Amino acid sequence: MKGMNNLLLEVNLNEKNFKDLRISDEILENFIGGRGLGVKIIAERLPTKIEPLAPENLLIFATGPFSGTTIPTNGRFSLVTKSPLTNGIFYSNSGGYFGVFMKKCGYDGIVIEGALTNPGYIVLDDTGTPKIKDASNIWTLNTEDTLKQLRLIEGQNIHVLMIGPAGENLVKISSIMNDSARAFGRGGVGAVMGSKKLKAIVVKRTNGKVKVHDNELLKKYVKVAQDKIKVVPITRSTLPKFGTSALVKVINILGMLPINNFQKGYDERTYQVSGEEINAKLTQEQEGCYACPIRCGRLTKAGNMRGKGPEYESVWALGPNLGIFDLITITQANYLCNMYGIDTISCGGSIACGMELQQKGYIKNDSLKFGKSTSLKNLVKMITYKEGIGSELSEGAALLAKKHNSNETAMHVKGLELPAYDPRGAIGHALGYATSNRGGCHLTGYLASLEIFAVPKKIDRFTIAGKPDLLALKQNQKAIEDSLVICTFAGWALGLDYYARFLKAITGIDYDVIQLTEIGERIYTLERIFNLNEGLNKSTDTLPSRFLSNPLKDGASKGHVVPLELMLDQYYNVRGWDSNGIPTKELLKKLKINYENA
């Protein structure tokens, strides 16, 4: 298919060998690339009930037909694996430059299986001779030092995916870092890479070109898209000026900024950690990914440390959710998470759970007190190295709470810690948490775009009607975005009507919006089947009990709970799943899913 190389690099770490894995046009036309391609491969190849940290697990990185073109925000690429945190399928998405240059080297993606005996790293370039090299000298280094060392060894013109000590130590909330501070976050994907004794993947910058069917037409569409990004306020000024932390004040005003492990939804002190405060006190420079006109990234300085971020979710997870409003401490803890390779949301979610356990007397540990900022950085380190209470926290909130017989203190879905929107404040968004194939995730459907930001138009955030339908559509649309691959922030200005035209110009295939949505549905449904086979089912399509029965006591979302049962049945019906949440045979036939375990 034009726009792709139809080629993946297959790496067997047991045998330390490589082979080319040709991908047919038919697969690409039906799954596109990125997340869709990864899901197709893992669903077909990974036997059920494989332990996520066993060598058999697959780690798949994949680009899409947009990667490396002139389309705005095409620098993102996808990862698919089985998560040690959820025991289900996991997709993650990261920006930067690595994906584009992997594709320019001739590979649409990499499929990694097996495990090395001793630490190693992979080097890719455009010569067609990838290598596995010894990583014993960089194993144990943090990600900042790893990057420095690899640049000394491999040259400055490289991009690197790597794990920090957290991934090496199989911390279940660890990330894979992407150059200096971008990440494949969530789901403990760093531990999967660590279990394979794979410290890093290096790609060398090359001048490879992406083959496009009609360059002139693409150029015209891209110009129109760039104009649109320039005139929509969120992409023109809000994200460039404040980054994602613009959300801090807004979500607090709506009474849905989780405070003290989701025990409250509003706190007046939140202005101390707002986007405005970050801009005024920390921001040094803006930065962006490949081909991105939005440039939402931030180079910052906090006290004697420098780094990137914090993003909205990180500010919240390491701040208000722990009762901490000290911006310097929050930002430095965020830097440490990046250096150790830990997911900030899950890190904050696990510590918050520990703090509530302490608050309620289930555990006794003075460092785990809401509002105690002096312990935070040390807790991040203890999680990384599994020291003391850090060992329990490193397993994630769900296991931590279970161990102390207090499941109600873990704010998670399917084992994945929840992000920074109290679900009681937007019930469609809440349904998205409950049904996301990767667990407690805000990005999979993001109905907040309508319920909070009125894009494309406002809907009542406490009303049920239409929410299951809208959510299913948005989940399908997100699956296709992650497969093309394009940044979710482009969606504030553009949408599938643009993406279908881009794809048509790239491939020469007459895609329309509806075909893309159906491909998204195919991907989403296949993920669901994978999860059902792993034991994730209707019983795990749920939310922590406080969201179902304990209304918030103050703020603009006061008095509301999530009517999940009422929405869930409708959602299954809308999706063409039976009353137990199992996709029907008719649906599988319509979506052309021939999965032997379906």
Partner 1 sequence: MSVDESIYKIFKKIGKHLVHHGYNTSHSGNISIRSGGKIIIKRRAAMLSDLEPEDLVVCDLKEEDSGSLLASTELGVHRAIYLETDAMAVIHAHNPYCVALSLVENEITCIDAEGFALYKKIPIIDVEIPAGAYYTSIEVPKMLKNYPFVIVRGHGIFAKGMTLEDALQYVTGAEQSARIRYLTLITGKSLLRDYSKEKDFSLW
Q: Which positions touch partner 1 (CB under 8 A)? A: 217, 220, 223-224, 227-228, 231, 450, 456-460, 463-466, 468-470, 473, 477, 496-497, 500-501, 512-515, 517, 570, 573-574
Distance separating alpha carbons of residues 50 and 530, to the nearest angstrom: 12
Complex with partner 1: residue 500 or 561, whichever CB lies closer = 500
Listed in sequence order, the residues at least 6 apart from 395 whose beta carbon sits closer than 8 Å to its beta carbon are 172, 350
Complex with partner 1: residue 109 or 581, whichever CB lies closer = 581
Distance separating alpha carbons of residues 566 and 466, to the nearest angstrom: 12
Q: Are 33 and 134 in contact (CB under 8 A)?
A: no
Cite the beta strand spans of 266-386 per DSSP E.
283-287, 297-302, 305-308
| Residue type, position 32, single letter | I
Q: How far is CA 297 from CA 183, 241, 310, in A?
A: 12, 10, 9
Distance separating alpha carbons of residues 329 and 176, to the nearest angstrom: 23
| Residue type, position 435, single letter | T
Complex with partner 1: residue 172 or 478, whichever CB lies closer = 478
Nearest to 258 by CA among 321, 346, 347, 350: 321
Least Cβ distance, residue 452 to partner 1 (angstroms):
14
Q: Provide the β-strand partners of residue 264.
A: 259
Least Cβ distance, residue 520 to partner 1 (angstroms):
10
Complex with partner 1: residue 370 or 577, whichever CB lies closer = 577
Complex with partner 1: residue 198 or 459, whichever CB lies closer = 459
Complex with partner 1: residue 72 or 95, whichever CB lies closer = 72
Least Cβ distance, residue 229 to partner 1 (angstroms):
11
* Secondary structure element (H or E) that encloses residue 382, with its range: helix 376-384
Least Cβ distance, residue 511 to partner 1 (angstroms):
9
Angle at 486 between CA 512 and CA 8, to 5 degrees: 95
Complex with partner 1: residue 203 or 218, whichever CB lies closer = 218
Least Cβ distance, residue 574 to partner 1 (angstroms):
5
Least Cβ distance, residue 120 to partner 1 (angstroms):
46
Least Cβ distance, residue 514 to partner 1 (angstroms):
4
Enter the tokens of residue 496.
């599938």
Least Cβ distance, residue 228 to partner 1 (angstroms):
7
Complex with partner 1: residue 278 or 516, whichever CB lies closer = 516
Complex with partner 1: residue 442 or 501, whichever CB lies closer = 501
Complex with partner 1: residue 299 or 473, whichever CB lies closer = 473
Least Cβ distance, residue 549 to partner 1 (angstroms):
22
**DSSP codes, 39-61:** HHHHHHHSPTT--TTSTTS-EEE
Half-sphere exposure of 145 (CA within 13 A, CB side): 11
Least Cβ distance, residue 478 to partner 1 (angstroms):
13
Helix extents (H) in 443-560: 448-451, 467-484, 496-507, 513-533, 545-549
Least Cβ distance, residue 40 to partner 1 (angstroms):
22
Complex with partner 1: residue 91 or 498, whichever CB lies closer = 498
Specify burial of residue 96 (Cβ count, 10 A radius: 0-12, 13-18, 19+).
buried
With tokens 């873990």, the residue in question is 410
Q: How far is CA 430 from CA 145, 216, 532, in A?
A: 40, 43, 21
Complex with partner 1: residue 411 or 494, whichever CB lies closer = 494
Instruction: Identify the sign of the CA torsion 99, 100, 102, 108.
Output: positive
Specify burial of residue 56 (Cβ count, 10 A radius: 0-12, 13-18, 19+).
middle
Distance separating alpha carbons of residues 432 and 437, to the nearest angstrom: 9
Q: Are 203 and 151 in contact (CB under 8 A)?
A: no
Least Cβ distance, residue 440 to partner 1 (angstroms):
24
Complex with partner 1: residue 480 or 552, whichever CB lies closer = 480
Least Cβ distance, residue 213 to partner 1 (angstroms):
14
